Structure 1
Amino acid sequence: MTTSPYSEHKLAVTHRGDLIERQFRCLCEASAILARAKSIEETLHEVLKTLHHDGRLLHGVVNLYDPENSLLQVGAIYMDHEGVKTPKVVYRSGEGIVGRVLEQNQPIVLGRISSEPRFLDRLETYDLTLPFIGVPVRDLEGKAIGVLAAQPDVPADDYLPERMEFLRAVAALFSQTVRMLVNVEEGRDIARERDALRREVRGKYGFDNMVVGHSEGMRQVFDQVRRVAKWDSTVLVLGESGTGKELIANAIHYNSPRAHNRFVCLNCASLPENLLESELFGHEKGAFTNAVKQRKGRFEQADGGTLFLDEIGEISPLFQAKLLRVLQEGELERVGGSQTIKVNVRIVAATNRNLETEVEKGKFREDLYYRLNVMAIRLPPLRQRLVDVPELADFLLTKIAGQQCRSLRLTDNAVRMLMSHDWPGNVRELENTIERASVMSEDGVIDSDLIVLPGHQLRTAPPASSVSIAKETVSVSDFSDRNFSDTDVDERERLIAALEQAGWVQAKAARLLGMTPRQIAYRIQTMKINVRKL
């Protein structure tokens, strides 16, 4: 039986209508899947599954371009059996047929895969006797950001152009969804990174890591920080340079209800007065030369959080009056502006000056001093808490060892040498000294010969033979009635009282005082306590 040309044309139209109807249903299903999209890979996989079963386009693959590494990698693939993981297959731009689609940013249709020598078949899933279609996935500017590829389930026929146009329509749907999903997942990554950084910062400035030292002065400081952190009271941190005032300010902020908002710092001594006003209050466009746009100041940046004003004692009396208004009213005006801006900022200020003396001399406003001095925390200099030097040295050495990615150790002689110094530069000088010694150490062991204390006089402790036996001998009757837990008692007397109660067993005395045996041993040595032999 022969078929007339008319009959053949009518049969072709009927088949074309079936194809268009099937593609329309498939496109509707793909749109529904993309509308409820969650993760990129899961969504792409579901659409490729629909193309396979409803659109009769097999082995669908979505390749996404990674601009950072200049590679095209498989983002999702569908095969008609379970348990197939996305293969780690990549292409460079222009490599193979998929790479050429990306490079040329145009569809490529192969009537038969085996007839194209440039087809790489790295996935090893295609029927080489069937056609292949690859179309670009484009961004809003029309640039190729990926490739959608699939294989029709019948040999080359007159409908390959229709199948290619259908895949282009699906790729257009992919384009917007992929961009949206990438942005969502990047947002999740940013949120996870933010949360991880918050945990890291809170761990860094947490009380467990901050409490280094068991001297009475530092224990009082830690107790004050714990108490004040949970309230919004203004805090004034007093202490010599290098005692860790900024560390205390960080600990207050990151252990407060404001921890999820910004911690903003400004060293008031680092800027001249005209720039300090703009830096703190901000400025409007055109307020002065080079003010080419509006800029928020530190107060606005710290809104809802904490503003740390270091070296507050260095600002001039004129600027003190401007600062006082913001602290009292919580209102400011940008330089060159007239709009009143309200801010909710917690203030932590710090200085190494004696502000009471500055007030008496007329160099610091009395009303500003009282506004700042709501809760004062005074950090003792290191020379007044030499008993903390071994623990501080261990803490700093661990930090430096982490930076140098190796193990470091201080010998007992090195620790004794560190404890014999006055430390006018306080903890900062101690850290610099230890870091310098660690750099000079080849094997990670730091002995006294590597401890260099330039420019400062060493405190030479008298030799043990010169110490009066009568002075150092401890009488049971002198301290047996002392309470080692009484904080009003001198630290040396508390230590001796604990030793008496522990029968002069240092490990037991350490447990009574909440210390380590090494800390007890160093305190006995530095306080020149003659240990009784029982």
Structure 2
Amino acid sequence: MKTNTSSVDAMQDQEFIDLTCLYEITRHLASATSLQDCLEKIVTSLAERKGMDNGTVTIINPATGELEIEVAHGITAEAKRRGRYKLGEGITGKVVATGEPIIVPQIGDEPLFLNRTRTRGDERKKKSSFLCVPIMAAQQSIGALSIDRVYKEGFGTQSENDLRFLTVVSGLIAETVQRIQRVNEEKEALRQENSKLKRELTAKNRIEEIIGNSSRMQEVFDMVHRVADSNATVLLRGESGTGKTLVAKALHHNSSRADGPFVVVNCSALPETLLESELFGHEKGAFTGATEAKKGRFELAEGGTLFLDEIGEISPAVQVKLLNVIQERTFQRLGSTKTIKTDIRLVAATNRDLEKAVKEMAFREDLYYRLNVFPVYLPPLRERRTDIMLLAEYFLEKYAKENNKQIKRISTPAIDLLVQYHWPGNVRELQNCMERAVLICDGPAIKSIHLPPSLQSADSIHSSKPLSLATAVENFERELIIEALKKNNGNQTKAAKSLDTSLRIINYKIHSYGIEPKHFKVK
């Protein structure tokens, strides 16, 4: 009677342990967002609650068709990497291939048990049993759940109970795998849809003449499209070389005045007297040398766009006359009393701090407000670094074609220098830099040695000092090694051979320069 009572108590204790473990596992699964974390918690629960050691979840890799360990409790990362099986290979491979669970009473007596992970010694093999159940999803085996277990007594009954328990757990895992896969698929679909919408928006806002995909340039494109069809005066602000002339052209070509003339006046290139004549025109005899009447830029731009570049450089006298034209849209030629009406779109540009110039009385406040109706700020190149390589490749293609050169790419070290440089001259400086590089390059790729000295080192970013011999040699050597690794798919032995040096030297140099060969492997 006492024996029966103790057996009932043992069964009840086991049922309580099973329920507690199952509840814990269900809780992990219900809150799972990462399959890896969830599975690790499950095999930990099996070890702590049920005494099931070496809990392992093996999943079919869809790319290779092989079984690979997803998570494993109590074994090293190296052992996990060794645990790879083909379908039908070993106990695990057989379980996944057939979809049927398998119990191995004693690991050491089973020839099909491969012990690929090498985590079980001879003593462990004598004591441990091995239980493996398939993980089924949509009536198809996608992997297996396996454990080691030491049975002191009652192997038959206990192992059958454990097998049923693991089958329930594997079913829960399968449901969670499917749920997480659906969530990931939905996320991926949303990501692709988002990328598609962004590409469509980018294409819609794209201005053909201007290169740039950065968020800062997208803002500029958006502003241009918003104001293009209006007659509002636009003031382009930004450092020299940021592309203000290109934006002015884009404003014109994307407006309803695109069929009209686009007239440019560089206000800083002309003296005051000549600038006034250029803007408003003059009559014959208006001043010495005026042998005939001449139309000014305001008349020449009739029905189109007048672009006043470097507007901050005009004199106070011209500022007054320009203010009247903007306000009244009328003007008089020099030497004439006849009033001429003008129908133009005015776009102005400056790299000066006009607010400071107004405070210093160097620029009229009323003219400033007339010009600053719709300001557009063009960011410097250092604030739109994602556009640097886009621009560099554009200029490479352009100048290679112009000079009949077969230069197809920019080397990695040269890319690093281009991206790290602060570009005080902005896009214009980058354009000149790439033209120079194309002219002196005789190979298929632009290398760091083809770039100006100002780009050659981190110290030279804020200094014009020439490179030291040691630094120049290091840059050249590093570039040669990277090029060799690229050509040989990251294989260091082949790279050493192509450079006619030893593997030991290559390994030393790779370590010294912080190069990662695995980055050059084609996956």
The two structures have a TM-score, normalised by structure 2, of 0.47
The two structures have a TM-score, normalised by structure 1, of 0.46
Higher helix share: 2
